[in-house]
Structure 1
Amino acid sequence: MVLLQIIFLQYNLYSIPCYETSTEIFRYDTDYSDRYNADPQQHHRRRLPQCLIIGVRKGGTRALLDAIALHPMIKVARREVHFFNHNETYMLGTEWYRQQMPYSAPEQITVEKTPGYITSKLAAKRVLQMNPNMKLLVIVRDPVIRTISDFTQVFYTKLERNKTLSEFENVVFLPNSSQINLRYKPVQNSLYAEHLEHWLHYFPLSQFLIIDGDKFITNPLSQ
């Protein structure tokens, strides 16, 4: 089933009239910024998200966000807020979090993306406390490819800052061993089952949508 069809079924969006005028279609199809921030008219206001893209890092979360933002019934937060996984932002409170969201109409879905949520030990409980009915999207890739991609980003970030660089093999494997270094963060981020198991202590599987990021890259409609 197509990704958007699943989301629409979960939210019963097929029963809601969609924007049909050529003016509306033109606005949503051509103005990228409008997909993130609608004009704050009478029934448009900032709302807490009903759906989160919680991970995974380097799994295709930005592509997923941009894909679902194409539909006028979905409004997405433009930046990663890190509300549930960073204490300093969480302490700012729910009202602060709401102010980070785009303007939306009552019938629209607000989506926020922060890939760091899935690996956080704090996020799941905090999300549950705010909204026990939250829908959770997770996009995953081949864990080896994802780890290499994660390492590459870290590598070039260090390179730009003139920091000490390490070879991939030296950080992924334990010293003088063929065993994987499970404490290395890019490897930890690829332990999908471990992170999902933690989240499943707080939310039922029915509230998750797991997306194959490898297939999504080549044929997003298949997901």
Structure 2
Amino acid sequence: MKTFMKLAISFGYLKYSAGFACPSVIPLQRCMLNVEEMINLANFILISIRFVHKYRFKQRLTFGSILVIVMLWKGKNMFKYNRHFRASGAHGICRACINYPNIKLVILPQCKECFTKVLDWEMSEAAKIRNKVLLEYHERSKETKNVTQRLPDIIGIGVRKCGTGWLQHALLRHPLIKINMKEVHYFNIYQTYKLGTEYYRNVMPNVTKYERAMEKTPGYFNFPRWRVNMPQVVRHDVPNAKLWLILCDPVQRAFSDFVQAVTDKIFEIPGTFEEYVEQYLPRAQAAYSSHLDLNKIASKWREVDRSSNILTLGVYYPMMKEWMKYYTEENLHVISGEEMIKNPGVVVERLQEFLGLPKLILAEDFIENPSTGLHCISPTIVIDSELYKIPMQCMTLVVKGRTRAPKLARESSLKKTFKKLKPFYKPFDEQLFQLLGRRLW
């Protein structure tokens, strides 16, 4: 029984690793037992043997038994939809890869255009320096065995539907940044905050003295009514943490939020986005025409009518003003969501500078997919003391950027609705730009 439990735990770990950390996904129509899939299956068998050796099972476990277990587990999950990527019909995806440091995997790219560009890629001087640092860190990490859990060094505080997930996924490629991929919601949920800083520390990833621990919870920026002093509390509890924040066009953000709310059934929202705006925009205009504190208006209205959150989250100015009472440019980095879409490589390079980390993710690691206008990332990693350029991970209309692709066609009715929303956000946007000293969109 102990042997079975250990093996189950091992495969549970593998199943978790094959989730969001997986560097690429494959379209459903290509999920067949072809040569690549057979190679992947062989890799799973090798991984299983490694885990059996790792746990040193005393009982006999034949190679045939391992093969049967792996095939059953693999077959069960091959066509299972990944919860991080929701789609339907021909746009579905399956798992066909795993993140394991000592196995060289065969992973198909998501877009042919991106894959071709990777083959034509020529190493620049910046890339040569980056690769040298990667190898040095890899060798140094072998000597550093002491790991610990500590309060986060880096926190992503928002804003929801502005590209925080994609930026987190890009930072996941940095070997000095270890990330809790789940949103912790420590500061914005009362029941969680009551558990104390010891709980907060325990949900952070293990890090060495060279590495940084990071978590991302977009709900921190638009703090709830019970926590009107959110910036002050965050600064007090994690005084040395550096924060990053993405602010994007509030009109685009509202539409993206609406699409996710409908897809995930977060709220009971009948009808189209146009109908939603017709119903909620007059309420927002009436509430925000008041001379009362905008923070209290937004929080109170959100609690009374949660569906209104889709519109109110885009009024950034009052929240930003509160955060800037306790943070400066030295410890709070504000990113333009529009620039994140157009030039993600430049954004990530600047963020590494802000965090005081070596630039191990370069602008040239990002390549535009000409069919969508979105970007793919193909970072360099170290496997067995050798450098590898792994296949592309792309923002796609199915995964990320389904409402933000620059080359996505818009219906005329939707364009009219966007035009109707802009006057509502404009005065708050101008106040925000004046506060920051620069325009973000």
TM-score of the superposed pair, with normalisation by structure 2: 0.39
Q: What per-residue deviation string (whole Å, max 9, x for no partner) do you get for residues 24-46 of structure 1? A: 49xxxxxxxxxxxx9xx841122
In 2, are the aligned partners of 1:83 and 1:97 still within 8 Å (CA)?
yes
The reply on whether 1:212 has 2:336 as its aligned counterpart is yes
Bigger Cα Rg: 2
Q: Residues 164 and 49 of structure 1: is their aligned pair in 2 closer, same or farther, counting only changes over 3 Å?
A: closer
Q: Residues 164 and 222 of structure 1: is their aligned pair in 2 closer, same or farther, counting only changes over 3 Å?
A: closer
Give me the whole-angstrom Cα distance separating, in 1, the residues matched to 2:245 and 2:321: 13
Shift of 1:164: 5.3
Q: Residues 21 and 189 of structure 1: is their aligned pair in 2 closer, same or farther, counting only changes over 3 Å?
A: same
Give me the whole-angstrom Cα distance separating, in 1, the residues matched to 2:317 and 2:148: 37
Shift of 1:212: 1.5
Q: What secondary structure sits across from 1:76 in the alignment?
A: strand
Shift >6 Å, 4+ stretches: none
Q: Which residue of 2 aligns with 1:80?
A: 183
Match of 2:324 among 200, 203, 206: 200
Give me the whole-angstrom Cα distance separating, in 1, the residues matched to 2:164 and 2:311: 18
The reply on whether 1:89 has 2:192 as its aligned counterpart is yes
Q: Which residue of 2 aligns with 1:109?
A: 212
Give me the whole-angstrom Cα distance separating, in 2, the residues matched to 1:171 and 1:94: 42
The reply on whether 1:138 has 2:245 as its aligned counterpart is yes
In 2, are the aligned partners of 1:84 and 1:122 still within 8 Å (CA)?
no
The reply on whether 1:186 has 2:291 as its aligned counterpart is no
How is 1:112-131 mapped onto 2 (pairs within 5 angstroms)? Answer: 112-120=215-223, 121-131=228-238
Match of 1:20 among 135, 139, 153: 135
Give me the whole-angstrom Cα distance separating, in 2, the residues matched to 1:146 and 1:89: 27
Q: What per-residue deviation string (whole Å, max 9, x for no partner) do you get for residues 34-84 of structure 1? A: xxxx9xx84112221111100000010011111112111111111000001
Q: What secondary structure sits across from 1:79 in the alignment?
A: coil
Match of 1:155 among 262, 268, 274: 262
Point out the more displaced range, 123-132 or 109-118. 123-132
Shift of 1:219: 2.1
Q: What secondary structure sits across from 2:204 in the alignment?
A: coil
Q: Which residue of 2 aligns with 1:31?
A: none
Q: Residues 130 and 81 of structure 1: is their aligned pair in 2 closer, same or farther, counting only changes over 3 Å?
A: same
Letter of the aligned partner of 2:177 in structure 1?
Answer: I
Shift of 1:185: 1.2
Q: Residues 18 and 85 of structure 1: is their aligned pair in 2 closer, same or farther, counting only changes over 3 Å?
A: farther
Structure with the higher fraction of residues in helix conformation: 2
Letter of the aligned partner of 1:69 in structure 2?
Answer: L
The reply on whether 1:70 has 2:167 as its aligned counterpart is no
In 2, are the aligned partners of 1:136 and 1:207 still within 8 Å (CA)?
yes
Match of 2:280 among 168, 172, 193: 172
Point out the more displaced range, 191-200 or 181-190. 181-190
RMSD, matched Cα: 2.8
Q: Residues 21 and 128 of structure 1: is their aligned pair in 2 closer, same or farther, counting only changes over 3 Å?
A: closer
Give me the whole-angstrom Cα distance separating, in 1, the residues matched to 2:211 and 2:155: 14
In 2, are the aligned partners of 1:52 and 1:111 still within 8 Å (CA)?
yes
The reply on whether 1:61 has 2:158 as its aligned counterpart is no
TM-score of the superposed pair, with normalisation by structure 1: 0.75
Q: What secondary structure sits across from 1:126 in the alignment?
A: helix
Which stretches in structure 2 are left out of the alignment for 5+ residues?
1-131, 289-300, 302-307, 348-441
Shift of 1:142: 1.1
Match of 1:43 among 113, 133, 146: 146
In 1, are the aligned partners of 2:262 and 2:269 still within 8 Å (CA)?
no
In 1, are the aligned partners of 2:162 and 2:248 still within 8 Å (CA)?
yes
Give me the whole-angstrom Cα distance separating, in 2, the residues matched to 1:180 and 1:145: 22
Q: Which residue of 1 aligns with 2:367?
A: none
Shift of 1:206: 2.5
* Aligned residue-pair number: 189
Q: Which residue of 1 aligns with 2:96?
A: none
Q: Residues 63 and 181 of structure 1: is their aligned pair in 2 closer, same or farther, counting only changes over 3 Å?
A: farther
Q: Residues 66 and 170 of structure 1: is their aligned pair in 2 closer, same or farther, counting only changes over 3 Å?
A: same
Higher relative contact order (CA 8 A, sep 6+): 1
